[in-house]
Structure 1
Amino acid sequence: MINQVYRLVSPRQFEITYKDKSLKFEKDSIVIRPTHLSICAADQRYYTGSRGKEALAKKLPMALIHEGVGKVVYDPKGEFQIGTSVVMVPNTPSEEDEFIAENYLRSSRFRSSGYDGFMQDYIFLDRDRVVPLPEEMNLHVAAFTELITIAMHSITRFELKSHPRRNTLGVWGDGNLGFITCLILKKKYNDCKVIAFGKNQYKLDNFSFVDESYLIDEIPADLFVDHAFECVGGKGSQYAIDQMIDHLQPEGSMSIMGVSEYPVEVNTRMILEKGITMIGSSRSGREDFVNTVNFMIEHPEVLEYFSVLVGEVCEVKTIQDIIDSFEKDLTSSWGKTVMEWKI
């Protein structure tokens, strides 16, 4: 069969590439037709060319998007019914390690990061890269399951590496990741106080489920948290980390999730003085997808909260529709842009 791949070849320019795939040689693969794809900030950095010439020259041409769901169209083993909705796992490991998770192995490949993402007519996935979704799942929300797994993965690492006093938890960042992290923390630790810290009141107004919220220039001097989560990224993460250090109780932990293109300064003196543990987290693996889907099944009410994050919904039937979707996402101040993939 001929598979069409929609690749970014230069900033704001997509082209179609044709790949010949033979199903008889794909005996261990499941074929998925993407239905809903979600645009990530990392995709936008490629689309706008802000990754820099060296990175773009190395990565492009490449199909974007690593957040998405689809329907099973072919399973040679018959384990999945045709038409089953599944979330697609973008991380593709080639080995296992006793101590290092699949998303940290240097040999793993990640879709839409030097390896074609989900902007294709059909996706050929290893069996363990597919996680089935319940029939009643809101697919506009499910489209950004991968983003939710980022928070789930970080919280799993936090549970393993931090001390068990969790009376008060603080989350810095009023964007999508901050919203998701606050919600998962509140559901997993409903006896804990969860506090959100952000720059924009109109964004914090969406965090209706947290116990308290503060603008970052109005935090009381005597407010302290047992553990903190950084969901800011970019240059702003430096200021967020500084505040986290100031407002952390001694021997608390800081979970760092925000990505910055450039190094940021960190107040190591106070990290040492307070005995703070810094926990870095990046991406996620199959286990995090399974845990996230199970979490949404166990707490169906979170889907209504997550639906607040659905911003633009764009029907995609042409390459111009893809461009329009990315351009709309650039002007959106809140939420995720979801593409209904009908190309």
Structure 2
Amino acid sequence: MINQVYKLVAPRRIEVSYEDISLNTDKVIVRPKFISICKADQRYYTGTRGEEILKKKLPMALTHESVGEVSYDPTGALKRGQAVIMVPNTPYEKDELIGANYLPSSKFRSSASDGFTQDYIAINRDRLVVLPDEIDLRMASFSELISVAMHGISRFEKTAHARRNRIAVWGNGSLGYIATLILKKKYPDANIIIVGRTQQKLDYFSFADEAYTSNDLPADFSFDHAFECVGGNNSGDAVNQIIDYINPLGYISLLGVSEDLVPLNTRMVLEKGLTLQGSTRSEREDFENVVAFFVEHPDGADELQRLIGQVIKVRKTEDIIQAFEKDLNQYWGKTVMEWQI
């Protein structure tokens, strides 16, 4: 079976390649239905990952956030047309201590292997999570981003001390929105606080107990634990501000990705006895927890639908480029491609 794969070959340049998919394996064939664009995809698309990295990675199909419909399952266990989330991380070994999302041998789509901008995806069965019928597939397309927040929160629950009266989230983008929402549902009696740079974006966080701009924090502001969801060039400022205001022995979850080194106020980290824990990507269990969240908190799923920023129908290669270009100017939420190519 000949498959068309839409690969980034140079910054802002996507071309079609033709690759064979064998139907004589145990892999499930999935047709993408909705694909969400991530900031990491944009760093490849715009060439901001750096020339040396691009030389190693390209040509490569982009995107790692997608839902699709089953086209063919050799076992028949998954029915044709069944909606599934595709887990982008592919492990090649098991470690009883280290999760697959932290193993160097794992291959992550749109980073170490081709992403989901393909006509069909041949994928291992354990990389699929079935979606209930009532879930909005446009919203479910960015389940991978939701799973990243879910993974970070699961590590927080295992590591942070038990005083969780006030939990703060830095970052008023999509990841901050998701983390704040999940925390509020998991800890309804705690004060969940959002700190961001833009009041207009903070207005979307109606479920947060408190909201502040980062340059207008109260003098007596404090909290027990924090999540950094800023990333980029501003992540250092965010983490250092968290260090300034967090209570002693607090826990800081680092979720934002920065391409550059970030200076930290280690003196105060030591003085306050803080725990900083980095989390990246996610695994199947986190995706299963995301689906459970959709089912258990339908009002939370409704709130997540507010992150659907624009939906662009993709019928040809030029539409993919248009979607990426429009996403660069997207003020709020996620750009979702409706895959009709």
TM-score scaled by structure 1?
A: 0.99
Structure 1 unaligned runs (5+)? none
Q: Which residue of 1 aligns with 2:123?
A: 125
Report whether the alignment pairs 1:148 with 2:146. Answer: yes
Distance in 2 of aligned mates of 1:9 and 1:323:
12
Q: Which residue of 2 aligns with 1:206?
A: 204
Q: What's the CA shift for 1:325?
A: 0.3
**Helix, strand or coil at the partner of 2:328:** helix
Q: Which residue of 1 aligns with 2:63?
A: 65
Distance in 2 of aligned mates of 1:124 and 1:332:
31
Q: Which residue of 2 aligns with 1:87?
A: 85
Report whether the alignment pairs 1:244 with 2:242. Answer: yes
Give the one of 265, 268, 276 matched to 1:270: 268
Distance in 2 of aligned mates of 1:310 and 1:202:
17
Deviations 1:47-79 (A, max 9, x none): 111111101000000000000000001011111
Q: Which residue of 1 aligns with 2:258?
A: 260
Deviations 1:224-245 (A, max 9, x none): 1000000000120111011111
Q: Which residue of 2 aligns with 1:136?
A: 134
Q: What's the CA shift for 1:114?
A: 2.6
Q: Which residue of 2 aligns with 1:291?
A: 289
**Helix, strand or coil at the partner of 2:19:** strand
Q: Which residue of 1 aligns with 2:225?
A: 227
Contact 2:21–2:122 under 8 Å retained in 1:
no
Distance in 1 of aligned mates of 2:239 and 2:338:
37
Contact 1:249–1:274 under 8 Å retained in 2:
yes
Q: What's the CA shift for 1:252?
A: 0.6
Distance in 2 of aligned mates of 1:158 and 1:71:
33
**Helix, strand or coil at the partner of 1:23:** coil
**Helix, strand or coil at the partner of 2:249:** strand
Q: Which residue of 1 aligns with 2:11?
A: 11
Q: Which residue of 1 aligns with 2:100?
A: 102
> Map of 1:29-40 to 2, 5 A cutoff?
29-40=27-38
Distance in 2 of aligned mates of 1:231 and 1:20:
39
Distance in 2 of aligned mates of 1:6 and 1:336:
21
**Helix, strand or coil at the partner of 1:294:** helix
Q: Which residue of 1 aligns with 2:326?
A: 328
Distance in 2 of aligned mates of 1:200 and 1:214:
9
Report the residue type matching 2:266 in the other structure. T
Distance in 1 of aligned mates of 2:113 and 2:339:
20
Contact 1:60–1:114 under 8 Å retained in 2:
no
Give the one of 167, 179, 192 matched to 1:181: 179
Contact 2:91–2:107 under 8 Å retained in 1:
yes
Distance in 1 of aligned mates of 2:231 and 2:20:
39
Contact 1:70–1:85 under 8 Å retained in 2:
yes
Distance in 2 of aligned mates of 1:38 and 1:20:
25
**Helix, strand or coil at the partner of 2:180:** helix
**Helix, strand or coil at the partner of 1:337:** strand
Distance in 2 of aligned mates of 1:79 and 1:100:
30
Q: What's the CA shift for 1:33?
A: 0.2
Distance in 1 of aligned mates of 2:120 and 2:81:
13
Distance in 2 of aligned mates of 1:208 and 1:285:
29
Give the one of 252, 277, 280 matched to 2:278: 280
How many residues are aligned here? 341
Q: What's the CA shift for 1:304?
A: 1.2
Deviations 1:267-306 (A, max 9, x none): 0000000000001000001110011111111111112111
Report the residue type matching 1:14 in the other structure. I
Distance in 2 of aligned mates of 1:12 and 1:170:
37
